[in-house]
Amino acid sequence: MRRLSILGSTGSIGKQTLEVVRKAPSDFTVEALTCGSDIDALYDQIVEFRPKVCSVVDDKKAKELSPRLKDAGISTEVLSGKDGNIACATLESSDTVVGAIVGFAGLEPVYHAVLSGKDIALANKETLVAGGDIIMPLIREKGVMMLPIDSEHSAIWQCLKGEKREDLDRILITASGGPFRGMKRSELENVTVQDALHHPTWNMGGKITIDSATMMNKGLEIIEAHHLYGIECSRIDVVVHPQSVIHSMIRMKDGSVLAQMGKPSMVLPIEVALYYPDRGPAIVKEFDPFEAGLSNITFEPCDTEVFRLVKLAYEAGSRGGLVPTVMNAANESAVMAFLAGRIGFLDIEKTVFETVEKMESGISGMDLTLEAVCQTDKDARIYADEIINGKIKV
Ligand code: NAD
Ligand code: MG
């Protein structure tokens, strides 16, 4: 039985994690739930799963939630702010923390969870992109498990089971290609937020959906795989596979390629992580190659001249240190500005490139500590926001 603290329980991954728990309630207890501000969704989850503690980042919303729970006769303690998230991540009664917060905000709670000896089931890829060099050594030092939830990394992990790491030649990370696959640069100039939010195969939160449209999601995943599997970024290839049936592949040194297949649903990778090293019950309807209705499965290279953020992510991941921290922070700021209608689609990429270019010399040689990572994230956001403010459409 796993005793869970679910950070970001009201989001897409958080809700699907609770779907797994709902289907197999005797295999889990829910100890803590956290969210940013959606207290209506959190209230319903608390009524159903009765955690000991919950936390809401937004202080005012937390104060609204407390009396509602009291009136309903529910004793769940309500915490708030960043500290509330960390308290839920380090709760004595939980043994596993599900990292389902979006963005850099997920890093500190996960860091503290590892420090306090929890296993981590991680969806929040930005944690590894921005701070993989501090998180992964800590995981090894504390002897806890890092259980990947991101579907590609779950696929790679499942393929690697039983294989010797030195026999791995390359990782072939698959990508749907997003809504703008096949487009030219000129066609990307005027795409709208609505166009970018229309993902062809996956239903996900807003930030990752935009990252899929710019293909930065694949860039982040290359760096995530580098940290999880200790392999250089140059040995990770992106394979565009629009049908999203194969969730990633590995090539062994003898040339054999192993792949993991399934429906495009995050429930299965979440389940694989939470039941490791066992296998759980069938929760999603199993993939049936005859029912899938696919007349062919196709593979294409990723056009990094059109989707330039992928190229930048390769460079940032290879250079390591705080370069990916800067890239991630600038990307988060730019994606939020795009979603708010403040900048155009290609301005996301320009903001990220300019921020990395401006900050790279200042961060080289800095010690890699949690404080340095957090400070660099802050500085990069300030710089990215300055670029964004200069580009506001009036
Ligand atoms: P989402 O936006 O749907 O949900 C995010 C959750 O985090 C919500 O509960 C929200 O309240 C909470 N949150 C937001 N800002 C916060 C903050 N500052 N502090 C604390 N909590 C905060 O996002 P999602 O799509 O579920 O993605 C979560 C993470 O999982 C992301 O890192 C994403 O890249 C990764 N991921 C998602 C999917 C998917 O299918 N959705 C697939 C693979 C990986
Ligand atoms: Mg993924």
Indicate whether residue 150 lines ligand 1 (CB < 6 A). Answer: yes
Identify the weakest region by mean pLDDT among 42-46, 116-120, 202-206, 371-375.
202-206
Query: Is the peptide bond prior to 277 cis by the omega test (within 30 degrees of 0)?
Result: yes
Ligand with an atom nearest the CA of residue 102 = 1
Give the CA-trace dihedral at 275, 152, 249, 240, to 10 degrees: 160
- The 10s digit of each residue's pLDDT in 172-212 is 999 999 999 999 999 999 999 999 999 888 888 999 999 99
- Quote the pLDDT of residue 391: 59
Element (H, E) at 196: helix 193-196
Q: Rounded to the nearest whole angstrom, what is the distance from the C-alpha of residue 208 to the centroid of ligand 1?
A: 8
pLDDT value at 233 more than 70? yes
Give the atom of ligand 1 at the shortest distance from the alpha carbon of 202. Answer: 40
- Quote the pLDDT of residue 339: 97
Integer Cα distance of 79 and 66 in angstroms = 9
Q: Rounded to the nearest whole angstrom, what is the distance from the C-alpha of residue 5 to the centroid of ligand 1?
A: 15
Give the CA-trace dihedral at 110, 111, 112, 115, to 10 degrees: 120
- Quote the pLDDT of residue 286: 85
- The 10s digit of each residue's pLDDT in 105-119 is 999 999 999 999 999
Indicate whether residue 270 lines ligand 1 (CB < 6 A). Answer: no
Give the CA-trace dihedral at 184, 190, 194, 197, to 10 degrees: 40
Burial of 121 (C-beta count, 10 Å sphere; 0-12/13-18/19+)? buried
pLDDT value at 385 more than 50? yes
- Quote the pLDDT of residue 43: 98
Ligand with an atom nearest the CA of residue 247 = 2
pLDDT value at 93 more than 80? yes
pTM of the model: 0.97
Q: Which two tokens stand for residue 217?
A: 């999601």
- Quote the pLDDT of residue 199: 84
Q: N- to C-terminal Cα distance for the chain?
A: 55
pLDDT value at 392 more than 60? no
pLDDT value at 101 more than 50? yes
Q: Rounded to the nearest whole angstrom, what is the distance from the C-alpha of residue 174 to the centroid of ligand 1?
A: 21
Indicate whether residue 42 lines ligand 1 (CB < 6 A). Answer: no
- Quote the pLDDT of residue 394: 38
Integer Cα distance of 378 and 384 in angstroms = 10
- The length of the chain in residues reads 394
**Phi, psi (5° rounding) for residue 284?**
-90, 150
- Quote the pLDDT of residue 287: 87
Tell me the three state secondary structure of residue 302. coil
Identify the weakest region by mean pLDDT among 87-91, 124-128, 357-361.
357-361
- Quote the pLDDT of residue 318: 97
Between 328 and 285, the higher pLDDT residue: 328
- The 10s digit of each residue's pLDDT in 310-327 is 999 999 999 999 999 999
- Quote the pLDDT of residue 201: 83
Q: Rounded to the nearest whole angstrom, what is the distance from the C-alpha of residue 152 to the centroid of ligand 2?
A: 5
Domains and their CATH numbers in the chain = 2-148 (3.40.50.720), 153-263+273-318 (no CATH), 321-394 (1.10.1740.10)
Indicate whether residue 35 lines ligand 1 (CB < 6 A). Answer: yes
Q: What is the mean pLDDT of residues 267-281?
A: 97
Contact by Cβ (8 Å): 133, 159: no
Indicate whether residue 123 lines ligand 1 (CB < 6 A). Answer: yes
pLDDT value at 300 more than 90? yes
The overall average pLDDT reported for the chain is 96
Q: Which two tokens stand for residue 88?
A: 């839920």
Q: What is the mean pLDDT of residues 251-255?
A: 98
Q: Which two tokens stand for residue 114?
A: 């590892």
Give the atom of ligand 1 at the shortest distance from the alpha carbon of 13. Answer: 26
Residue of 102, 149, 157, 378 with the most ligand 1 atoms within 8 Å of its CB, for mutation:
102
pLDDT value at 230 more than 50? yes
Indicate whether residue 204 lines ligand 1 (CB < 6 A). Answer: yes
pLDDT value at 302 more than 60? yes
